[in-house]
Structure 1
């Protein structure tokens, strides 16, 4: 009868022939993706994918592309400089000194990333003008006046400076109004056509190549005969950011790698000191700019926050390398898009849902990998987000008719079982209906049991409502810790808690997690105990047992009632260890298997080798104390003394062992394990054991 409920006919799911619009929809979304890609409708998403691709490129591309350019140097002003300089901004007379020093040191181009569009109020302009004229190789920054799609002109330096220098505009902004990440530089054709204005980086390269002609033809930026950079359909140049070395604060900034502080030039003691620095700038493009926070000239990029002068430096390096990042042609984008579309149409023929989805997501995965590899290895920029979005829509559209079958199964399962199975089990059955069958799997896991010591005495001293309140507070606190430690709470039986680690998800460190949870429960219990005592309630202690071993986990029960739980001898042993605490007056006992699985993470005291009730095999047990190396003070000393006494006990030297255990009691007269062994040693001395005794202590009660 169950099979009749769980299967819906293919005709019900698929619908009538001729009403399948999935192919039309897939073709439509991919054709729409081509149009949207060309118009860059989703530049925010696409630029984010470019950012991630650029990060990968900086780590895995050829060294010639990911290394900072050796032809560009940054001379910067930062907070340290201004602290020494004791004024802001940099005075023009001092800028003059810097320019002349750089000229004398052999700088090929001196680019000043400071907008000098107003006259000095301190009469410093003549001095700066003389320096600009003497240098003869200075490039000043300008600003394109752009409002929306209107180009109003160029805001250049004052005439006195403009007539002695060249200039380039530094307009740069993100392509999206939402994302601020700078991944490309736009060459505004209207600016070059109407105002003979070019980007600052472009002009710097032109001057570096002896004032080479700048041309823009067929979306190709040419500078002289050496440089040809392909631009995309919007005349954007993609900036290739380099890999920078690590620093104490994370990743070094570009100016820290290829730069020097203005202080080294402005405060140079003599010509000899400048000559020592000349090799750093000789024959290079030197950019003078701000990297101080007060300048508010910092931008978000794929490699982190970068100062404006650093973006210019990276753009210059990109141009000098002939623009290693190239946007794919429209025809290549169309071919890629249509091929991916064809594969998704092909996926319709796969009836089995898992294989179909595996194939579909495999298509998307291979596409992503191909696009990323093309970017990293060849600098080829193929749009990712548009085809990926179309792929995801296609997966939904193509699979929707198959999902109707699955939705029918889920609805039937909810109707049939929702009234008498727990919501968790029902949800699991909805996800995997094949689990309706009983059964489980064997795994090595860690089981945990805890119980309130002398609970009957404790409960008899309280009113029922008061007991429920305290018990709920206790169970809530303990279970929160178990869940926070990635454990699974199996069940409650009165004050008993049963939990386990290692399922339903695999946990390699299940023993460590269980021990940490036990330690944390002891600490939380101490807080609760203090609270309860202050409220006039009796003091309680909780015993815990933990064991690691093979056990069966899964849905147990009957066809009418299932319970996700654990079973097996290992589970029973964990329960016995909880009760075994009573013999040693301890409150957290773990087995040797648990100890060996996580001894590098915990402090524990070996207690004894015992044979629990109902088990013939001996087990060595430990008292769980703390996280590794957290046991200190008298307890740490006590553990060392106890270990020595226990070694004598194992050798059968009960007389010396007795003395050792008594030494333990001098440190803590109430130490349960030491008291137990004092009594036992005295008994063995008075009543000697047989020579063939196996030194295993057999417990006679569960706890």
Structure 2
């Protein structure tokens, strides 16, 4: 066993910090979801769940393959099933169900059919077909026993038929789910903002009605349900706990229940549904299938429930699948809330600490032991930690798993490499260890003082610079890895050179995005002017790269840049074990939102009024609009820089003048005049085209008297 000194300990700590920072960084956030998937699989395989499905507080009424093959549904379009659905739901609620939720949406009625049938549309011959169904909906809704589902979307929302909406009044809740970047559902939303007010999601609404309470905000800011503080790693979500791998929720065949209604067996409905939350949904093999954290081990579409009238199908037994029916995702969320069994995930600081500590232990082992012995130590410690994590997951606590395992393995490899460069001098060691995430000025201070960096920050007036390539994901799909790397290196190098040559500091790269600040770490009284100048040069440089650089040929890249100035905390920010020289404040958030807001106006650069005010008369600007960005209630005036003062083209002046005239008319509610003014430049100016269409619409249907000329942006 090799003796280690202070220098080795410092090296191990720094390597652990670096490995922890990498494997808990946003680009590798997918590892957090992978940890949940592995823990779910290991718990299911090693421990399982012995709960009786009959004790489940939630059950599913399943529109399954049997339903489609059984009379009277066989060969009938689903729009004709509504009356039978109403009859079954009536029996379910009469049997004592607390509340029924719809995971199916009937966006239209057969009565609306315009298909010719004889001398009249088919729908006109079926007037009144849905009357009994609508009466059933109204009765159940008025009794607080029914919630219909809808899917919210800015582009294509999906809602029940208008008659159904009127029947149930306000008893409609969103079925939208929270999907991670890898298209896996591990969490569910708690609420949605509708008309500026938080409205519970479907699962939360059903749980609140079952518990006879409301969703509230607790003293700590966490959402509470009947005194239960709902754990929420991602704001406004709960992390699903698939404790029974889907088999802990009974699934009643809709066909059998319909036959049970015909049979008149009211006792069966009482035994099956008394005191239960009921979800109606499809469990077909091809409809509404969801990947969840059960994807590695496989989940089940519930457990077949007792039968009432029809014989059980002769099909083979259930098999585990990587995807499950969406209705069981909602059912699991309801059960988690009622039983207070939501998974608690550690926040980013604690996950980083777990990862860094584990990596540090392995790094020290790598410094003390031979490479083979260190690898065996890694295997043994990782196995022991995994067992501890599975034990914690049984108690609904999700410890990070993949991040510590991978970070420690990387730390081990780095420590073995370090042992070959023991003669490195301290300055070289510090620069190599911190160059990727501390500003050069900070590293120079460290080298001069001979001290490690410490936590701390200061309030500075800065200008934040956010940029992002437009539609880059679709372009990247057409490129080989080598081409993509070459393109990104060329682009990021060119943009970084411009930013740094104008006094900016690149805080971080996030994929193809760049986050930079002007005014820190080095003092710069002209930080706003330098930021705007850098943005204009970056835009011009991208056009040059598109025209002359072979790596950019045929791709036609474009980017969006957001600029905002204001007070911010800058400095070494983080935990005692890991921190970055970075910036924090609302100034940063607004700059990020302005970058995204460019896509609504078709602009490349957007700056706030605060930035414009700090640039003096250095640039020619045009005011774009007053907007309200996501997550911020106050309206912001936004501007587009055209060029250095006096360098704008004749066309830019003409468009800016017409736009200013149209904007003044818009704000004065003279929409017809505004449309005429914007129309003149709409052909070549997306922002003018946007306002021309908005002004035309308002000239036909004027807004209410309390209208304010503020555009509320719903996306980021």
Question: Quick check: which one's helix share is greater?
Answer: 1
TM-score where L is the length of structure 2: 0.46
Larger Rg: 1
TM-score where L is the length of structure 1: 0.47
